Amino acid sequence: MSARLSRTDVEHVANLARLALSGDEVERFGEQLTVILEHAQDVAALDLEGIPPTAHPLPLVNVLRPDEVRPTLDREEVLAQAPAAEDGRFRVPRILGEAP
Amino acid sequence: MTARAIADAVRVGERSARSVVDEHLAAIEAREPELHAFNLVMGDSARATADAVDAAVARGEDPGPLAGVPVALKDNLCTRGVPTTCSSRILEGWEPPYTATVVQRVLDAGGIPIGKTNLDEFAMGSSTENSAFGATRNPHDPSRVPGGSSGGSAAAVAAGFAPLALGSDTGGSIRQPAALCGVVGVKPTYGRVSRYGLIAFASSLDQIGPFAGTVDDAALLLETIWGHDPLDSTSIGSPPAPLGDVPDVSGLRIGIVEELTDVDGIQPEVRAAVERAAAGLESAGAHVERVKVPSCVYGLSAYYLIAPAEASSNLARYDGVRYGLRVDGADVAEMNAKTRAAGFGAEVKRRIMLGTYALSAGYYDAYYGQAQKVRTVIIRDFARAYESFDVLLSPTAPTTAFELGAKTEDPLAMYLSDVCTIPTNLAGHAAITVPFGTGAFDLPVGVQVLAPALGEPDMFRVARAIEGLAP
């Protein structure tokens, strides 16, 4: 497995991550991520056939609380922190009509 | 004066909480311009909280075990109505609509939040240089870093700005700065302290814990904040066992972890401190041996795949919609991308990119999947070690505090300063760092005690003993 990141790779990942990177950043991150991923080859190269993955250190599953009606965050207080709000809702730029 | 001594004096009316707070605010005023430990000093609210504590004492009430004790809060812990930035432009000016459970427990115990401390942006870093609001400096030598990411909290305690502080530890972000600043720092067992109100970095690794000048004060703060919280679904339900107050280690089996002590680039003084602490523990009646935990050598690589992967998902919420910064764009996607480009600093972008890559189609199994399997192997190796030992010993960081700028251009070199602390987070275990003399450039050295999940009582016994043995 090659860990060398091309410009296209970096731009693809930046798009997935919704980061508008400058040309300089694409260049620099490409080099730095390559170095970091080279270091990670020690893990990528291990034979771990049959070892189950650990996503979480605690053996807790389906933790539930009683389904009771309780006060939640105050809507006005929350919306007061939003960049834009209108009629008790968050306001965002146009979504419908985007291509494709 | 220790936190416990302050609280004892305030509870019986020997000292006023107000005088305690004023004294610490004066210390902050004198040295904060040089050190920049805080993003926000909460002078007015600290005085008001202190007056309320004094009023309670005057009424004959007991304000609680932290009565009148100033506590510095890492600026990724939400406090309702108090700006909480994570040292990021993307959250600049944001005032949380709720309070973190740990902060509420500090308040309920009579403690006094005195300020929000600086950190590496979103807790990503090992030097507190990745803050959008400027670096924090080490009180022992201001030309050097305090460590990170909780560098502001460590520096605040070391400089006498507060007897206690809270931080968060994802790969060593409490223990490494505590070691570099010569104070005590604790990473509790995963799930022992509620994460409700801690702004998420890597959710399966993040844990809140205390900083203090002494092991006993760290125990005081930990016993205040820990225990089950219904607001955190990963919170452990069983009640914590008391930490006790004896330094007795006779009969305890203590293993020195070879892979964490023989790491590349370790300073000889740091290794010598661990050996000296071990010899002292042996004289005090403990049984000390070297032990191998072989997969620890893969901890760093696994961590720098898992933590960025989780971060890339957690930080997706900063999209310019519900809080924080927004930079306008022609459509939603462009608004998201421009907001995140303007709001995040270089290290945060780097980790989001790394994590997104490790999770992306074609690379998931090779990187993220492999790292998760390594995590299993590390947990198994520790389990084997803990069959023969009650606690383990290692350095906290390979070196003493380094100079500002020394590692900022080389991310991998910076990551290597977490090599001794990371395995504990991957395993979900507990660890504490205790100052143990000085090393290179006469700077503080920390010795780390590691314990299995819920092993805090033995861990604190050994930590108290090491504190008593320290030169």
Q: What is the per-residue pLDDT across B328-345, written as a single tens digit (0 to 9) for each?
A: 998 899 999 999 999 999
Instruction: List Cβ neighbours of B224 (8 Å cut-off, separation of 6 or more).
Output: B65, B66, B105, B106, B109, B111
Task: Flag whether pLDDT at B22 surpasses 90.
Answer: yes
Of B316, B370, B453, nearest to A48 by CB-CB distance is B370
Helix axes B3-11, B43-58, angle to 10 degrees: 50
Do A40 and B305 lie within an 8 Å CB cutoff?
Answer: yes
Question: Mutating which of B89, B363, B373 best tests the A interface, going by the most A Cβ atoms within 10 A?
Answer: B373
- Residue A66 is predicted with a pLDDT of 86
Quote the mean pLDDT of chain B: 97
Closest-CA distance of chain A to residue B420, Å: 17
* Mean pLDDT calculated for residue range B96-106: 98
Q: Sort B255 into a burial class: Cβ within 10 Å, 0-12 / 13-18 / 19+.
A: buried
The ipTM (two decimal places) reads 0.93
Banded pLDDT at A2 (limits 50, 70, 90): low
Task: Flag whether pLDDT at A1 surpasses 50.
Answer: no
Q: How far apart are CA B274 and CA B260, in angstroms?
A: 11
Instruction: List Cβ neighbours of A2 (8 Å cut-off, separation of 6 or more).
Output: none
Closest-CA distance of chain A to residue B299, Å: 9
A contacts of B379 (beta carbons < 8 Å):
54, 57
B149 is catalytic: yes
- Domain assignment present for residue A27? The answer is yes
Gyration radius from chain A CA atoms: 22
- Domain assignment present for residue A56? The answer is no
* Mean pLDDT calculated for residue range B394-412: 95
**Per the structure, how many domains does chain A have?**
1
Q: How far apart are CA B237 and CA B150, in angstroms?
A: 27
Asked if residue B91 lies in contact with residue B324, where contact means CB atoms within 8 angstroms, the answer is yes
Do A52 and B373 lie within an 8 Å CB cutoff?
Answer: yes
Which amino acid would we find at residue B86? C
- Domain assignment present for residue A12? The answer is yes
Gyration radius from chain B CA atoms: 21
- Domain assignment present for residue A26? The answer is yes
Superfamily of domain B3-225: Amidase signature (AS) domain (3.90.1300.10)
> The CATH number of the domain where A18 resides is what?
1.10.20
A contacts of B191 (beta carbons < 8 Å):
57-58, 60
B87 is catalytic: no
- Residue B438 is predicted with a pLDDT of 96
Closest-CA distance of chain A to residue B41, Å: 22
Of B316, B357, B415, nearest to A13 by CB-CB distance is B357
B contacts of A29 (beta carbons < 8 Å):
349-350, 353
- Domain assignment present for residue A55? The answer is no
Asked if residue B101 lies in contact with residue B94, where contact means CB atoms within 8 angstroms, the answer is no
- Residue A95 is predicted with a pLDDT of 76
What CA dihedral angle connects B261, B373, B76 and B30, to 10 degrees? Answer: 10
| Domain coordinates in residue numbering, chain B | 3-225
Q: Which residues pair with B291 in a beta bridge?
A: B257
* Higher-pLDDT residue of A63, B445: B445
- Domain assignment present for residue A29? The answer is yes
* Mean pLDDT calculated for residue range B279-298: 97
B16 is catalytic: no
Q: Which of B70-79, B182-191, B230-239 is the least confident region?
A: B230-239
- Active-site residue, from B16, B74, B126, B131: B74
Exposure letters A27-65 (e unless 16+ CB within 10 A, then b): eebbebbbebbebbeebbebebeebeebebbeeeeeeee
Do B411 and A32 lie within an 8 Å CB cutoff?
Answer: yes
Of B323, B335, B353, nearest to A13 by CB-CB distance is B353
pLDDT digits (tens, 9 = 90+) for A32-78: 999 999 999 999 999 999 999 999 888 888 888 889 999 999 999 99
- Domain assignment present for residue A36? The answer is yes
Strand pairing report for B70-74 and B112-117: parallel
Task: Flag whether pLDDT at B193 surpasses 80.
Answer: yes
- Active-site residue, from B173, B235, B312, B417: B173
Asked if residue A39 lies in contact with residue A33, where contact means CB atoms within 8 angstroms, the answer is no
Of B233, B330, B357, nearest to A63 by CB-CB distance is B233
Question: Mutating which of A12, A13, A91 best tests the B interface, going by the most B Cβ atoms within 10 A?
Answer: A13
pLDDT digits (tens, 9 = 90+) for B359-369: 998 889 999 99
Please choose, from the candidates A37, A87, A19, A6, the residue with its C-alpha nearest in 3D space to the C-alpha of residue B337. A19
* Mean pLDDT calculated for residue range B193-214: 98
- Residue B414 is predicted with a pLDDT of 93
Q: Sort B49 into a burial class: Cβ within 10 Å, 0-12 / 13-18 / 19+.
A: buried
- Active-site residue, from B16, B127, B149, B153: B149
Q: Containing domain of residue A22, as a range?
A: 7-44
Do A40 and B304 lie within an 8 Å CB cutoff?
Answer: yes
- Domain assignment present for residue A25? The answer is yes
- Residue A5 is predicted with a pLDDT of 87
Banded pLDDT at A94 (limits 50, 70, 90): confident
Q: Which residues pair with B289 in a beta bridge?
A: B255
Asked if residue B145 lies in contact with residue B125, where contact means CB atoms within 8 angstroms, the answer is no
Give the residue on A whose Cα is nearest the Cα of B427. Answer: A57
Task: Flag whether pLDDT at A96 surpasses 80.
Answer: no
